[in-house]
Homo-oligomer: A and B are copies of this chain.
Amino acid sequence: MSWVLVKDVEDYNGREVTLKGWVYNKRSSGKIWFLILRDGTGIIQGVVLKNEVSEEVFNKKDELSQESSIIVKGLIHEDKRSPGGYEIVVRNIQILQVAEDYPIALKEHGVEFLMDNRHLWLRSRKQWAILRIRHTVYYAITEYLNQNAFVRFDSPLLTPNACEGTTTLFTVPYFDLGNAYLSQSGQLYLEAGIMSLGRVYDFGPVFRAEKSKTRKHLTEFWMMDAEAAFVEHDENLKIQEELIRFVINAVLGKNRADLEILDRDIEQLQKADAPFKRMTHKEAVVFLRTKGSDIDDNSDLGAKDEVLLTENSDVPIFVEKWPKEIKAFYMKRDKENPDLVLGADLIAPEGFGEIIGGSQREDDYDLLYKRMVAEDMPLDEYQWFLDLRKYGSVPHSGFGVGLERLVQWMSGVVHIREAIPFARTIYRLRP
């Protein structure tokens, strides 16, 4: 590379370099003006001194609008007062393009306007910081899994049948084979994968054609599903806790500057890196009622319940052993109480809600078969899934992590639409 990235300028202190990027801001004070340059890897202040550059270069300040693209030559110089600790004393500025009036000024805009201009809004500091945190979260998840003998196993998105329910599926006409449906979870395929590889995961987009318009719902979002042979309920929770704490540490270690840009309460994240709490669904219901919730014995937790449940907890809370009626057919029953399943949801603190759902899976052919019959599922479509209980069935468990939910929590953003480059919601398919 014939130029230097802003993130690397500390390696070039006292040296003349070329930087390439965009004008983020500028301000003037007589014989000196300051150019704030961003290049995607960082932001640096350029100092332009009337006495040290040609008149032509000095006068470029009048020409340069926000987001103009430029190539800057100058001397890197450590300066503790400067935002990144370094500045560049400018020798020359080459203008690639003077940007037209940039629609997103450094001020407040309405959300619809920003989402209509998402292709530009992405350049704003906060959006930039969130995307960098998203990168860290993604690779912290895969790093933990790879270190723990999980193998990547990409499950298909075009599926002939639904994993759970059919009312919230996107339909895709598929050649002469009728309709395909966009996957909501790769779990069933992963259960085949563990029989080959022991521990597997996928990590890709999944789809829910839900008409929800909350701040936690997207129609297209990224999910990591993990599945492990011979892992039972307790160990399943242990893996999940280790994984989430690994992610917290990665973000705290790598994205401190981004968290500051976002005004994230870093102490809250640090406090979440401690042993997670665990309560049964029944205990959660009793507790929530003392807090004023009108939740039923056999109800899922509502968004308000999730907030109430965690409002005095620094760490995430596992809610486990759910009534079988409100959980999926494939969950294994609790030996001690067959009305409950060995499933758990993990609820993040600070009101960020559910970030993981998981369970031990039913590994007995006959029990699974009966449940599928009772739920009126198309047995021929699922025969391959039943086969897994016929040829060397083993106890196994798994869970799914919603990437955007986790990014939302880590970065502290209020609305999930900012946790993904181009959000898709019930009312938005563009840009």
Contacts and interface: CB of A to CB of B under 8 A. Distances in A.
Given A152-B138, A155-B421, A420-B154, A172 B175 contact: no
A393 B192 CA distance: 48
Contacts of A156: 220, 421-422, 424
Contacts of A310: none
Interface residues of A, number: 95
Contacts of A152: 134-135, 138-139
B160 A430 contact: yes
Contacts of A197: 40-41, 128, 131-132
Nearest to A134: B152
A5 B198 contact: yes
Interface in A136-183: 138-139, 142, 146, 149, 151-160, 170-175, 177, 180, 182
Interface in A361-419: 381, 384-385, 387-388, 390-395
Contacts of A99: 390-392
A113 interface: no
A261 interface: no
B198 A122 contact: no
A100 B69 contact: no
A196 interface: yes
A213 to B, nearest CB: 11
Interface string A182-204: 10000001001111111100001
A67 B388 CA distance: 11
B155 A67 contact: no
A381 B430 CA distance: 8
A147 to B, nearest CB: 12
A102 interface: yes
Contacts of A235: 1
A22 B390 CA distance: 13
A39 interface: yes
A26 interface: no
- The 5 residue pairs across chains A and B that have the minimum distance between CB atoms: A40-B198, A384-B431, A69-B392, A119-B192, A122-B196
